[in-house]
Structure 1
Amino acid sequence: MGIQNVSAGSPALLRYKQEALFQGAWQRPALHQRDRSTVTVAALVTSGQFAQISYHLGRAINNGLTRTEASEMVSHLAYYAGWPNTFSAVPVVKSVFESRAQ
């Protein structure tokens, strides 16, 4: 869902996302942003929130997560998040990798 859709549907939600999440939780110094991104992507795979993975995996890569590490994370999650969730995440991960190869 694009930012315009969120803004039109729930301006307060967009404001909370910016203020509480990205200007608040994401800026806390006790966990590096790379690690925060890794945890976020793992949580999205585990909970089957595939529509959100592209954005957050891209952010994780921007924050220093390598493709090899992202790939290994997905493989490792198969044992904890379940095979269906991880296999469903693979096309999204592949798409992110391909879009960044250009």
Structure 2
Amino acid sequence: MVEKQTAGHDRLGDFAPKFAELDDDVLFGQVWSRQDKLSARDRSMITCSALIAQGLFPQLESHMKLAKKNGVTKDEMVEMITQLAFYAGWPKAWSAFGLAKEIFKD
């Protein structure tokens, strides 16, 4: 079961309420909860891959933490980033490894 997300409402609820609703209720509520279609672990790996490929490191940090919570191991994250280095770019992999090293240090 995917945990109810409230980041949209917490961070943008007063400023951009519709966006906050779409983020929390549609993306994380409806899409991420479709466990019968794709596990939260797999969704996390896909999301982290997409964020790395686009160089969206501010968003990557929270998604990498969520990936760890969803069962992605350090070894899997390292392999994913290594694979992406060849397709998304070496500098992006270096940046992603910096985050991964902190998040998966224990």
Report the TM range for the smaller structure's normalisation: 0.7 to 0.9
* Counterpart residue identity of residue 24, structure 2: Q
Identity %: 36
Cα distance, 1:90 vs structure 2: 1.6
Aligned equivalent of 2:64: 57
- In the alignment, which of 13, 19, 22 is matched to residue 25 of structure 2? 19
Aligned equivalent of 2:78: 71
User: Any runs of at least 4 consecutive aligned residues in structure 1 with deviations exceeding 4 A, and if so which?
Assistant: none
Provide the aligned length of Structure 1 versus Structure 2: 98
RMSD: 1.5
Aligned equivalent of 2:13: 7
**Is the contact between residue 41 and residue 70 of structure 2 (CA under 8 Å) also seen in structure 1?**
yes
Helix, strand or coil: the match of 1:27? Answer: coil
Aligned equivalent of 1:92: 99
* Counterpart residue identity of residue 58, structure 1: K
Cα distance, 1:95 vs structure 2: 2.0
* Counterpart residue identity of residue 6, structure 1: L
TM-score (norm 2): 0.83
Deviations 1:46-76 (A, max 9, x none): 0000001111111111111101111111111
- Gaps of at least 5 residues in structure 2 are 1-6
Q: Distance in 2 between matches of 1:62 and 1:88?
A: 21
**Is the contact between residue 68 and residue 104 of structure 2 (CA under 8 Å) also seen in structure 1?**
no
The structure whose residues are more often helix, as a share, is: 1
- In the alignment, which of 25, 34, 48 is matched to residue 41 of structure 2? 34
- Gaps of at least 5 residues in structure 1 are none
Cα distance, 1:11 vs structure 2: 1.9
